[in-house]
Amino acid sequence: MTERVLTGDRVTGKLHLGHYAGSLENRVRLQEEYESFVFLADVQALTTHFEQKDLIRSHIHEMTLDYLSAGIDPEKSTIFIQSMIPEIAELTVYFSMFVSVNTLRHNPTIKAESKGQGLDELYYGFLGYPVSQAADITFCKATLIPVGDDQLPHLELARKIVRRFGELYQPILVEPRALISNTPRLVGTDGNAKMSKSLGNAIALDSTREDIAYKIKRAVTDPARVHKNDPGHPEICPIYAYHRAFQPDALPEIRQGCERGTMGCSACKERISLTLEQLIAPMRERRAYYAGKPKAVEEILMSGTQHAREIAKETMKEVRAAMSLDYFDLSARERRVL
Ligand code: TRP
């Protein structure tokens, strides 16, 4: 069976190396083999950023450039905007009838993301975003969802919703499977467990050579290495994590140099800067190409969204019939009025 792969990203900021290592690189590979969908989750971004519509709007453009520059090929992947597929919102409403509040309150990712906030103060849309995510996945009957492990509870819910929908109505939807990325989450340049733009510890995909060198130069390393030939502890060093993620072949040698104190931190940093520059340089080139063609980029988004919309309409026809909501067909009438 051929798989239909789907993933999305909240439209809240530029993408960085953490996204690349954890997900984008994988998507670029998967599009060679499978039918692929990549979408800009602007509605999901609204769950936390509903007061920042301008930010979402500007990031639609930036993130599309991020996708294209990272190697998402519009000839191979359908790129679309979530809010432009109203069928997703419709499907979310139907699903929400049979998902309990308790299920959502106990979702570990929702819990973690709302830490510090009493569950009772949660916004309805935020609490329910996993339901909306199930609609993102099922409207196009996606089968394979490449995600990090924080998304697993959402995938489990999507599977449960598909089964329940099948029991209640008709088994027309498809249970998705998670494709777990085995790359560990990329640490930030400050040693924080998560690389994140809001923490200021990220290396963006549109970095210049100078940006990369600067961020790497300022990155923390093993604090035990005061002098160049002090023995180091690679496991606690973000730079070592970057070597692991982006040039695994060199790992044994780098580990040895660090542990034996024969390679100092600045030499080690220069090596990773060079590797990252080699990774990002072609992205920069593709970015410049697309940034100079805003009409072409818009066309990519429009045709991807149109393709997704056609699939969504087909699925909703089936969903409405299964739920006995197919009272009549207005399209013929609308045409007559015109
Ligand atoms: N919640 C995902 C994230 O934060 C984004 C997302 C929205 C998604 N809908 C999806 C991922 C559907 C996979 C499938 O990264």
Q: 58-87, pLDDT tens digit by residue?
A: 999 999 999 999 999 999 999 999 999 999
Q: 338 pLDDT band (50/70/90 cuts)?
A: low
Helix axes of 129-138 and 86-96: crossing angle, nearest 10 degrees:
120
Q: Give mean pLDDT, residues 260-283.
A: 95
Rounded Cα–Cα distance for residues 35 and 33 (Å): 7
Query: DSSP letter string over 26-93?
Result: HHHHHTTTSEEEEEEEHHHHHHHHTT-HHHHHHHHHHHHHHHHHHT--TTTEEEEEGGG-HHHHHHHH
**Rounded distance from Cα 270 to ligand 1 centre (Å):** 35
Q: 139 pLDDT band (50/70/90 cuts)?
A: very high
Can you give the pLDDT at residue 235? 92
Q: Which domains does the chain possess?
A: 4-186+294-337 (3.40.50.620), 209-290 (1.10.240.10)
Q: Is 336 exposed, middle or buried (0-12, 13-18, 19+ CB in 10 A)?
A: exposed
The model's pLDDT over 294-305, given as tens digits with 9 standing for 90+, comes to 999 999 999 999
Query: Does the Cβ of 42 fall within 6 Å of ligand 1?
Result: no
End-to-end CA separation in angstroms for the chain: 43
Share of the chain above pLDDT 90, in %: 83
**Rounded distance from Cα 133 to ligand 1 centre (Å):** 6
Q: Is the pLDDT of residue 116 over 70?
A: no
* Reduced DSSP (H G I as helix, E B as strand, rest coil) percent helix, strand, coil of the chain, to 5: 60, 10, 30
Query: Does the Cβ of 136 fall within 6 Å of ligand 1?
Result: yes
Can you give the pLDDT at residue 224? 85
| 25, 68, 70, 280, 319 from 285: Cα distances, Å | 17, 11, 10, 9, 44
Q: What is the mean pLDDT of the chain?
A: 94
The model's pLDDT over 277-286, given as tens digits with 9 standing for 90+, comes to 999 999 999 9
The closest alpha carbon to 222, from 276, 268, 272, 277, belongs to 268
Strand, helix or coil at 99? coil
| 13, 57, 204, 283 from 280: Cα distances, Å | 18, 25, 9, 5
Query: Which ligand 1 atom is nearest residue 132's CA?
Result: 9
Query: Does the Cβ of 41 fall within 6 Å of ligand 1?
Result: yes
Position 151, amino acid: Q
Q: What are the residues whose beta carbons fall under 8 Å from the beta carbon of 294, sequence distance 6 or more? A: none
Which of 10-14, 192-196, 239-243 has maximum average pLDDT? 239-243
Q: 1 pLDDT band (50/70/90 cuts)?
A: low
Query: Does the Cβ of 8 fall within 6 Å of ligand 1?
Result: yes
Can you give the pLDDT at residue 97? 98
Q: Is the pLDDT of residue 119 over 80?
A: no
Can you give the pLDDT at residue 83? 98
Hey, what are 205's tokens?
Answer: 């995909």
Q: Is the pLDDT of residue 229 over 70?
A: yes
Can you give the pLDDT at residue 191? 93
Share of the chain above pLDDT 70, in %: 97
